[in-house]
Structure 1
Amino acid sequence: MVSSPHEAMHRIFQDHPDLFSGVSKVLGVDFAPPTSVTLMPTDLTEDRPLERRVDTLLRLETEDDEPILLAVEAQGKKDPDKPASWAYYASYLLTKYRLQPMLLVICQDPATAVWAEQPVKFGPRQWPLLTLSPLVAGPHNMPLITDPTEARKDLALATLSAITHAKSPEIGTILKAVTTVLRDEPDAVKNPVIEFISRGLGKLPAAALWRNLVAVDLSFYKSPIFEEARDQGRAQGLAQGREEGREEGQAQGQAQGRAEDILFVLERRGIDVPDEARTRITVCDDLDILRRWLDRSLTALSTDEIFANESHGV
């Protein structure tokens, strides 16, 4: 027996499930009558704990509005199951903290970023119940900060720019702008930036360029990335110099690595490298000259500009 208005308002749909079709038509939405009905359990309590973790969660206080809960997610690739998880996070945060949730998704891949920022609608096509619209920061909308003056204005933004544009042809110029700024910064500012970018570049080709720039421009910096850059140089040198002597082999390995960085930067920037120029770079074993060429490769419009004022015998 129905015992209260509350019960009557929902129990009628148990006894007359096709009523939903009639009510929806009254409301201007067309749902077809059901062909079968299954009464489901009403207890939505989770039977067992289900571990769900957002990447970063921050409570942000502002002067103008009520506090918000900012969930930050790093997304490396398209994942059709992720929007449902994000919707769960938002609902859970609102229920638990009674504060408005916000979702920011960070991407390095342009296609993934475009996918992530598309609003996702949950519910029947006739009337979506929920719409998920995360904010997305990625290479498609983050600024290309290639000027040290701009990088100095907001070093945190420049750091994120370097991470999100890790696959961009401009990454060499971005990284050079950052190291230029870091030369004048104290260790408390410098060290976290170097480590963030190092982790953010991961195993991408730009990571080798970053290690080289840190070693060259910030030669007194001491950290795992600094030691790694030198260890790689030693390893390359030892591999090539077993028969030529340890010291000579190490220098050759470092020179080869720096030459590869120059060619990498030129390739990513779309600069044509004639065979003669490629040979000149790869056979050079003078680290000072290679360092000078590496600096020029970040802004040069042709290989002629890289070799400007250099004797051809170099």
Structure 2
Amino acid sequence: MIQSEHEVLIELIRRSPSLATRLFAELGFDTPKYTSIRVETTDIAADHHHLVILLLDGDTIVLAVVVEVRLHEHEEFRDWVPCAADVWARHRRPTVLLVFAPRPTAQRLRPPLLVGHPGLTLSPLVVGPETIPVITDLQTARELPELTLLSGTAHGEHHHDVLQAIAHALKALEWPMRAAYVEHLARRLSGPSISKLDAFMTTVGSGRSIVAATGDEVKEEPESHQGVDRP
């Protein structure tokens, strides 16, 4: 059962792990040639902030991707080095850390983490709002619902055409995931944006009102932000 905002985004990526590889080019990272992609089942995901994706060429792992989600300014990231090291030690294959931070806090996550040993640093690949595409095309929304919903988290407040795309993307999800994402958005959007999304959802027939789904009154302002796969 999805219980936190982090789990919502982790589940989107789990459903469509190619989200990671789609965004590598935007980050200037060269993805190695691979023929398949899978999500690794591991205890590293026990706190619901982590996900491990493996890219394979035949039976050989060519890249391991440790996926993290960071939504709030106050969240710690000192566990990133041991997490990446653990995955590297398990597979002894190239390993990268990919951080999804769809809020403006992404900037503070980019500096390298200095371990102390000469030459040993970890520079996270950070997916911030500027990396996530603004998806407004409805056909794209229906074909790539997970990417569209990630776009909604990053851009829904300031690009209301994205809200219409979200309404179409939600139809591709089963109800528990749809309800969890709607509740996640309700914490992120202002009252006027929630009302617009409500109207789009009603028109498209993509589920209950966002207010009915959360049991909350429409907010006037979003909360403070402080401290399956498709090729």
TM range (shorter): 0.5 to 0.7
1:185-224 aligned at under 5 Å gives the runs: 185=171, 189=173, 191=175, 194-206=178-190, 208-209=194-195, 212-213=198-199, 215-219=201-205, 221=207
- For residues 205-254 of structure 1, give each alpha carbon's deviation from its aligned partner in whole angstroms, at most 9, with x where no partner exists: 347337623652244735x957336x65xxx7xxxxxxxxxxxxxxxxxx
Which structure has greater strand proportion?
Answer: 2
For residue 126 of structure 2, give the secondary structure of its aligned residue in structure 1: strand
1:140 aligns with 2:140: no
1:60 aligns with 2:54: yes
Q: Where do 5+ consecutive residues of structure 1 fail to align?
A: 1-51, 237-256, 265-314
Q: What residue is the counterpart of 1:113 in the other structure? A: 106
Q: Which has the larger radius of gyration?
A: 1
Q: Where do 5+ consecutive residues of structure 2 fail to align?
A: 1-45, 222-231
1:271-286 aligned at under 5 Å gives the runs: none
- For residues 142-176 of structure 1, give each alpha carbon's deviation from its aligned partner in whole angstroms, at most 9, with x where no partner exists: 1111221332342221111111225x411x22011
| CA distance 1:213–1:143, shift in 2 (3 Å) | same
Query: Partner amino acid for 2:202?
Result: V
Which structure has greater helix proportion?
Answer: 1
| CA distance 1:197–1:138, shift in 2 (3 Å) | farther
1:175 aligns with 2:170: no
Q: How many residues matched?
A: 173
Normalised by the length of structure 1, the TM-score is 0.45
1:180 to partner: Cα distance: 3.9
For residue 62 of structure 1, give the secondary structure of its aligned residue in structure 2: strand
Instruction: Give yes or no for contact 1:59–1:67 (8 Å, CA) kept in 2.
Output: no
129, 144, 158: which one aligns with 1:154: 144
Instruction: Give yes or no for contact 1:214–1:226 (8 Å, CA) kept in 2.
Output: no
Q: What residue is the counterpart of 1:92 in the other structure? A: 86
Instruction: Give yes or no for contact 2:179–2:213 (8 Å, CA) kept in 1.
Output: no
Q: What residue is the counterpart of 2:115 in the other structure? A: 122
65, 69, 74: which one aligns with 1:70: 65
| CA distance 1:198–1:220, shift in 2 (3 Å) | closer
Higher RCO, 1 or 2 (CA under 8 Å, sep at least 6)?
A: 2
For residue 93 of structure 1, give the secondary structure of its aligned residue in structure 2: helix
What root-mean-square deviation, in Å, do the aligned CA atoms of Structure 1 and Structure 2 show? 3.6
Name the CA distance, whole Å, in 2 between partners of 1:54 and 1:101: 20
1:67 to partner: Cα distance: 4.7
Normalised by the length of structure 2, the TM-score is 0.58
